[in-house]
Amino acid sequence: MKAAEAALARLDRAGNMGFAEDVNSADVPEGQMAVRSVRFVCPAISDEMLPAKLWRPRIVQYLTDLSKTDPGLAAVLKIRTLNSNQEAVEECVQILTTYLKNVLSNPTDPKYRVIKLSNRIFVEKVQPIAGALGFLEAAGFVNSVKIESDGVVETLALDGEFSVENVEMLLDALRTAEPLFPVVFRDPIILKPQEAKEKIYLPEDFYDLTAQELTVMYKKRVQKQQEDEPLMTKAMREKKESNHLAKYKFSLLRVRFPDTSFLQGTFTRYDTQKSIREFIDSCLREPLRYSLYCPHSKNTLSEKDDSKTLYELRLIPSVVLHLIPVDPKRSTIYLQPDLLKNAKKI
């Protein structure tokens, strides 16, 4: 299996600007992994650095505990965090906003203080969204029944007085709250030139393919490369490259400094070019003006592309950039002392 994976990586090397290869990390000596795994952080919850799959149960538990002390905020965060269909979330948010704004505008009108549980919009747009019922309960709505000509109707009703200030706070939270999503830990590491040369393998969590799929892909490429390559147009080659890059979820970035050391960090494919500069700036000993040169494309990264993703810029799954100071006469100690002190093998 290791041989097939390595061969597949070599087959792709011509179209890959990076330094790394995909392998089963269990088959690679410890010292040759570019990074062991991709870890995530969620500062609002804890200082832990964990794989993505371990964060959801922690987030759910955090929101469950929060609902005991601040049910309104917990409900808002559940709406923003625990639902995967963001279009459905936005529709629900609009409906919840309408419910509460109608109450604020017409506090004594009974028709705005009752929500029928059988109402089609409520059933389809509100009830399925995690946190929506808790939000209405935090606003003062309670389960109730209403007697109508065709029988008893179950409702959520706002009985008696309600707190205008509380409702306004809930609306503001619903409008401004950000989801509790874990983000990739950059995992800044300083590498010496020899270490950067040796650490060239990416772990499985950088890509979406299983070992079996890698083997199948390798066999197909071996069969077709000879006959297809000479006939490929530029558009076809670009499409092939896009298909290759599409399997990667993350990018391992290395920035080579003039002193020949490398600063390494982990990014998602959806991080922007601007995030590269922000990462570098956060690791510098002091503010520095510089440009970033990409040897593969033979171009200097332009600030006009700062909003583009690493996928759009083809800066995945691994890339080496050269940092070029605007004033080369400045101090040659570029990185923070703590990073230099902790420079070690992965």
pLDDT tens for 186-219 read 999 898 888 888 888 888 777 765 555 555 555 5
Instruction: Specify the range with the lowest mean pLDDT, choosing from 17-26, 37-46, 261-270, 330-339.
Output: 17-26
- Per-residue pLDDT for 283 more than 80? yes
Burial environment of residue 215 by CB neighbours within 10 A (0 to 12, 13 to 18, 19 or more) = middle
Q: Per residue in 75-119, pLDDT tens?
A: 999 999 999 999 999 999 999 999 999 999 999 898 999 999 999
What is the pLDDT of the chain when averaged over all its residues?
A: 83
Better pLDDT: 245 or 112:
112
Residue owning tokens 């298909």: 243
User: Which structural domains are found in the chain, ordered by start?
Assistant: 2-36+185-341 (3.10.20.90), 41-176 (1.20.58.2190)
Burial environment of residue 251 by CB neighbours within 10 A (0 to 12, 13 to 18, 19 or more) = buried
pLDDT at 146: 78
- Per-residue pLDDT for 7 more than 50? no
Q: Per residue in 19-39, pLDDT tens?
A: 666 556 566 766 788 888 899
- Per-residue pLDDT for 15 more than 60? no
Residue 338: pLDDT band with limits 50, 70, 90: confident
pLDDT at 205: 77
Instruction: Specify the range with the lowest mean pLDDT, choosing from 226-240, 257-271, 283-297.
Output: 226-240
Instruction: Specify the range with the lowest mean pLDDT, choosing from 73-82, 236-245, 328-337.
Output: 236-245
d(CA 325, CA 24): 38
pLDDT at 219: 58
Q: Average pLDDT for residues 276-297, to the nearest whole number?
A: 93
Q: Average pLDDT for residues 216-238, to the nearest whole number?
A: 53
Better pLDDT: 272 or 1:
272
Phi then psi for residue 152, to 5 deg, are -85, 130
